[in-house]
């Protein structure tokens, strides 16, 4: 969520930065609400100070010998009660204005960082790195062809169980998915991440804290009878792991990794990637999440990205790192590196991880602060997240990159102990 102080003091900066995202906004109404709220707060503080002064005068009169029921004391008390009523009325007005302001601020995306390349769409994203040698020979199959041929999943029966865009993994397919999850978690915990297995159902406050609500409600599946949603990504429960908390500064950075099933409606994507594992309503993912100090945020972003890349390299999967331009940033992100894995059957790179630094955007929404032991005040933490990795897309990449002339699939050496074999088929 954007800073209310910035809205009051430098709205031009917000307008200019959102324009870099391609958004034209008029903040006049929000500024008016913010100033009204500040004026009410100032008036309330003045009245509270006046009421406290009257309370002290009552005590002084009584200590000096005045009767508690004397006209003088009674008049002061009556004046104090009138001030209390005024303060209560101002507090209600403040709450109403604060709710209106927060409701509107929650719909604004994060401001892009100054280093983010300018651009209007994904066509303006910038390639920063390539790793590996992509296979380009003719006649390679796509992963959905390989999976169906080897009996790794069943799509038709999944429609009977649920609906389209769900998949049932079978035999070696199910074992490979499980092997990938364990491999990823082991790799990340070996690098110092704390493993978390959070609830798959999350409440509205959790979705609001991470930035999915209110703007993207239509993308998530909601339980009709409860204030609960199926999590679209482990980023949601991990953000709220420290919601409404003050973290001791010496504990930072906090680094978590979590496996969860993820659920997304994929609204507006019908007709794209209808076969295989690329775009499903339910998929598995291992998420990386950091809480850190603001001054360590950029370094943390670089390290989180490298931790995700290390999985691709260990699995011998060629990839490239793309920096998203201002017009392609996600809602909560201030800067993002997408990792795209090479799919030789499809002849293209596809996103497999999105590594983002969110600054204090999520921390402000979720009230996540930290405090040094030798200071009085608190500061908003910075949050970062990235897939480490999307499991189904990793499987797709393994099938396409590992396909052999005899129809089998060779697995990378690092995965063999987890899967229990060197080949599928």
Distance CA 332, CA 182 (A): 29
Which residue of the set 350, 365, 393, 400 is catalytic? Answer: 393
**Structure token pair of residue 65:** 């010998």
Express each pLDDT in 375-418 by its tens digit.
889 999 999 999 999 999 999 999 999 999 999 999 999 999 99
Which residue of the set 165, 243, 255, 264 is catalytic? Answer: 264
Which residue of the set 91, 93, 245, 351 is catalytic? Answer: 351
Residue 194 has what pLDDT?
A: 98
130 flagged as catalytic? no
**Structure token pair of residue 344:** 């030789």
Are 369 and 247 spatial neighbours (Cβ–Cβ below 8 Å)? yes
Which residue of the set 158, 210, 220, 354 is catalytic? Answer: 354
pTM (predicted TM-score): 0.91
423 flagged as catalytic? no
Which residue of the set 21, 243, 255, 279 is catalytic? Answer: 279
354 flagged as catalytic? yes
Handedness of CA 180, 185, 186, 187 (dihedral sign): positive
Domains, in order of start, for the chain: 4-105 (1.10.287.40), 122-424 (3.30.930.10)
Residue 257 has what pLDDT?
A: 98
The average pLDDT across 319-330 equals 98
Express each pLDDT in 41-67 by its tens digit.
999 999 999 989 988 888 888 888 888
Indicate if the pLDDT at residue 272 is higher than 70: no
Return the exposure string of 117-153: e unless at least 16 CB atoms fall within 10 Å of the residue's CB, then b.
bebeeeeebeeeeeeeebbeeeebbbbbbbbeebebb
Residue 62 has what pLDDT?
A: 86
**Mean of per-residue pLDDT scores for the chain:** 94
**Structure token pair of residue 338:** 């997408």
Q: Left if phi > 0, otherwise alpha if psi is -120 to 50, otherwise beta: which for 277?
A: alpha
């Amino acid at each position: 969520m954007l800073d209310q102080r910035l809205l009051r003091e430098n709205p031009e900066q917000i307008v200019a930065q959102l324009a870099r995202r391609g958004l034209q906004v008029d903040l006049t109404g929000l500024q008016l609400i913010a100033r009204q709220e500040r004026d009410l707060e100032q008036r309330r503080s003045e009245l509270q100070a006046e009421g406290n002064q009257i309370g002290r005068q009552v005590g002084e009169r009584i200590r000096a010998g005045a009767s508690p029921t004397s006209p003088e004391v009674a008049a002061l008390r009556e004046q104090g009660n009138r001030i209390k009523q005024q303060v209560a009325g101002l507090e209600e007005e403040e709450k109403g204005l604060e709710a209106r302001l927060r409701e509107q601020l929650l719909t604004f995306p994060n401001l892009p960082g100054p280093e983010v390349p300018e651009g209007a769409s994904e066509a303006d994203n910038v390639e920063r790195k390539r790793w590996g040698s992509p296979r380009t020979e003719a006649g390679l199959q796509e992963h959905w062809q390989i999976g169906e041929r080897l009996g790794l999943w069943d799509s038709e029966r999944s429609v009977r169980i649920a609906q389209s865009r769900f998949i049932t993994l079978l035999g070696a397919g199910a074992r490979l998915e499980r092997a990938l999850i364990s491999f990823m978690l082991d790799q990340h915990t070996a690098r110092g991440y704390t493993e978390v297995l959070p609830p798959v159902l999350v409440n509205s406050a959790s979705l609001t804290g991470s930035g999915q609500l209110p703007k993207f409600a239509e993308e998530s599946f909601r339980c009709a009878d409860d204030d609960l949603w199926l999590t679209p990504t482990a980023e949601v429960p991990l953000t709220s792991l420290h919601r409404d908390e003050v973290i001791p500064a010496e504990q930072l950075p906090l680094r978590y990794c979590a496996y969860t099933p993820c659920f997304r409606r994929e609204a507006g994507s019908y007709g794209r990637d209808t076969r295989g594992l690329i775009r499903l309503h339910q998929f598995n993912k291992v998420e990386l999440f950091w809480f850190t100090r603001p001054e360590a945020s950029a370094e943390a972003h670089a390290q989180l990205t490298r931790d995700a890349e290390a999985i691709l390299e260990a699995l011998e999967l060629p990839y490239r790192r793309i920096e998203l331009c201002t017009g392609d940033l996600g809602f909560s992100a201030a800067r993002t590196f997408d990792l795209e894995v090479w799919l030789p059957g499809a002849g293209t790179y596809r996103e497999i991880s999105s590594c983002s630094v969110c600054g204090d955007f999520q921390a402000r929404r979720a009230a996540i602060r930290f405090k040094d032991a030798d200071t009085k005040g608190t500061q908003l933490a910075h949050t970062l997240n990235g897939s480490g990795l999307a499991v189904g897309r990793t499987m797709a990449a393994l099938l396409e990159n590992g396909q052999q002339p005899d129809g089998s699939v060779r697995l990378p050496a690092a995965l063999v102990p987890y899967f229990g074999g060197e080949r599928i088929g």
